[in-house]
Amino acid sequence: MKAVQYVSPGHVTVVDVPVPERPAGEVLLRLDKVAICGSDLHMLYDSAPASFPFAPGVSGHECIGVVEEADSTEVRRGERMLIIPPKINAMAEYVTVEPKWLIPIPDGLDSQRGVLAQLLGTVLYACKRLPSVVDKTVAVVGQGPVGLFFTMLMAHYGAKKIIGLDVVDHRLSVSRAVGAAHTINAERENPAEAVRELTDGALVDLVIEAVGKEETINYSLDLVRQNGDMLLFGIPKRSAFVFEYEKFLRKLLRTTSCAFTQQEPGLRSFRLAVDLIAQGRLDVSPLISHCLPLADAPGAFYLAQTKQDGAVKVLLDCWLDA
């Protein structure tokens, strides 16, 4: 089978490796769609050189596949499944997992939209930790796929005004399409001054940081009002950096972070994400910008990293090489 392999920082290739043997009690699936996640980019571009090469298939984890072999009564051959692979090794044509990591995909939901349920599930899980946003003003820092999902959900949850911030204009256009009332290009405008003007000096009730950079985490503190709320969701490139702690302390912010959605009992947030997309209650189509064959993984990663050609969410199609 073909599998993507990270061979050195910023360099991926597609290699031929054996189809994995199916351990007793696990399910063998043929991958259909695999999406490139921001965390995949972190692992490829920011990991220590000594950690390369990665095992083939790592770090794929946003994926849909079709059951090829199973000895479990819980799944049937030919079923399409959202896969939550615990070994994050699904950037390949085949993968094996235990049935507990599989969520059925309804027949009416195509794989291109359905694969986004993994990422949406992580955002839904984070939203469960937030206070009510009804009639509140919210700023979402970062309008990549994660930030766009937060923007979309804030609109659905009844936020009065949503402000999207990013440095890429085409992503800000998508932000307005999915619910942001205002957008700010943080390279051309001062984020704090722009938010203060948009809110008549009141600032926002909730700021969601979906980038993970030292700069964006620190300027997020300037966007939120005294006694406001802050969600830290972005994954930082470094384990330690300068944080403007005194500003954070004196604003008396209620702050939360979120990770490890896969540890939620019953994978509830992922299942909810599948249902919301399948029912048409959330249109994830505006986020999907590219779908390239698995064999063109180097080009797909380049697009996802550089954000060229209008790239937002980049998918790999594992069937085109069949």
Contacts of 58 (CB under 8 A, 6+ apart): 6, 43, 87, 88, 89, 91
* Three-state DSSP class for residue 296: helix
Distance CA 96, CA 80 (A): 14
| Residue 237 pLDDT > 50 | yes
16-65, pLDDT tens digit by residue? Answer: 999 999 999 999 999 999 999 999 999 999 999 999 999 999 999 999 99
Respond yes or no on whether the N-terminal peptide bond of residue 53 is cis (omega within 30° of 0).
yes
Q: What sign does the CA torsion over 300, 302, 306, 308 have?
A: negative
Contacts of 130 (CB under 8 A, 6+ apart): 206, 229, 231, 256
115-133, pLDDT tens digit by residue? Answer: 999 999 999 999 999 999 9
* Three-state DSSP class for residue 61: coil
| Residue 322 pLDDT > 50 | no
The conformation of residue 92, written as its DSSP 8-state character, comes to: B
172-209, pLDDT tens digit by residue? Answer: 999 999 999 999 999 999 999 999 999 999 999 999 99
Strand partners of residue 4: 14
Give the residue ranges of DSSP H helices in 157-189: 169-178
- The pLDDT > 90 percentage for the chain reads 95
What was the pLDDT predicted at 293? Answer: 97
What was the pLDDT predicted at 73? Answer: 82
- CATH code of 130-257, in short, is 3.40.50.720
37 residue type, one letter: C
Q: Locate 262 and state its tokens.
A: 């896969």
4-15, pLDDT tens digit by residue? Answer: 999 999 999 999
What was the pLDDT predicted at 145? Answer: 98
Distance CA 40, CA 60 (A): 7
The CATH number of domain 2-120+262-317, selected from 3.90.180.10, 3.30.70.580, 3.30.70.980, 3.40.630.30: 3.90.180.10
What was the pLDDT predicted at 72? Answer: 80
Average pLDDT of the residues in 124-150: 98
What was the pLDDT predicted at 320? Answer: 58
| Residue 282 pLDDT > 80 | yes
The domain segmentation of the chain, as residue ranges, is 2-120+262-317, 130-257
| Residue 321 pLDDT > 80 | no
| Residue 300 pLDDT > 80 | yes
What was the pLDDT predicted at 287? Answer: 98
